Chain A
Amino acid sequence: DGGITQSPKYLFRKEGQNVTLSCEQNLNHDAMYWYRQDPGQGLRLIYYSQIVNDFQKGDIAEGYSVSREKKESFPLTVTSAQKNPTAFYLCASSLSGRTDTQYFGPGTRLTVL
């Protein structure tokens, strides 16, 4: 099956810990994205990548880091510098960046204990 997978589905983090959220796609898409969703809010862009070994900050990049070493993978690290990380995190991809439909993964819910 082609699609986007995110793992884990639920993640718990202690104060001061870094955690990494996985996002993998087998759609052969060039562009990949990370969004954060809070209750009653729209999606806010954290980082995006249009091509391997390249990525750009979105609107709320502080406290997060990414890498794009492979076309199919775009992991997101939530660092201890992110003061309010509890949220629902969504990964997406598109064939190119400009005019194509974005496809979303099932999401990871991160909770800080």
Chain B
Amino acid sequence: KQEVTQIPAALSVPEGENLVLNCSFTDSAIYNLQWFRQDPGKGLTSLLLIQSSQREQTSGRLNASLDKSSGRSTLYIAASQPGDSATYLCAVKGMNGGNTPLVFGKGTRLSVIA
């Protein structure tokens, strides 16, 4: 059964710092990996989706990488801002057993201090 782990569970950084959030998964047979942002009491906002054939995706100050063979993904945030404070979740879509839904990690809660 696919398991997704995110480390650290919480992270606090000063404004302007570059940072990396980590995501690992146990089964490398995936269609894609997706990074989401969740603000307190809100739904999830999709940030980046990486297909299994891709190595990375970029959107503005965000860069996500995928190493499928080692079961790892990172989300790099450049020049962090207080508005980046949120919980970041990664999720993988497995290939086994037909159309399997997303499996989520528990998230990393990021605080960017002004």
Q: Looking at chain B, what size class is its interface with the partner chain?
A: 20 to 34
Q: How far is the CB of A112 from chain B (nearest CB, A)?
A: 18
Selected contact of A97 from candidates B42, B99, B107, CB within 8 Å = B99
Q: Looking at chain A, what size class is its interface with the partner chain?
A: 20 to 34
A109 to B42, CA, bound (A): 10
Task: Contact check, B106 vs A104: say whether CB atoms are below 8 A apart.
Answer: no
Task: Contact check, B104 vs A103: say whether CB atoms are below 8 A apart.
Answer: no
Q: In this assembly, does A26 line the interface, its C-beta being within 8 Å of a C-beta of chain B? A: no
CB neighbours of B83 from chain A (8 A): none
Binding site for B on A (CB under 8 A): 4, 6, 33, 40-45, 48, 50, 58, 88, 90, 92, 97-99, 101-107, 109
CB neighbours of B102 from chain A (8 A): 33, 43, 45, 102
Are A42 and B105 also in contact (CB < 8 A) when A98-B93, A98-B99, A101-B34 are? yes
A6 to B91, CA, bound (A): 22
Q: How far is the CB of B47 from chain A (nearest CB, A)?
A: 10
Task: Contact check, A103 vs B42: say whether CB atoms are below 8 A apart.
Answer: no
Task: Contact check, B43 vs A41: say whether CB atoms are below 8 A apart.
Answer: no
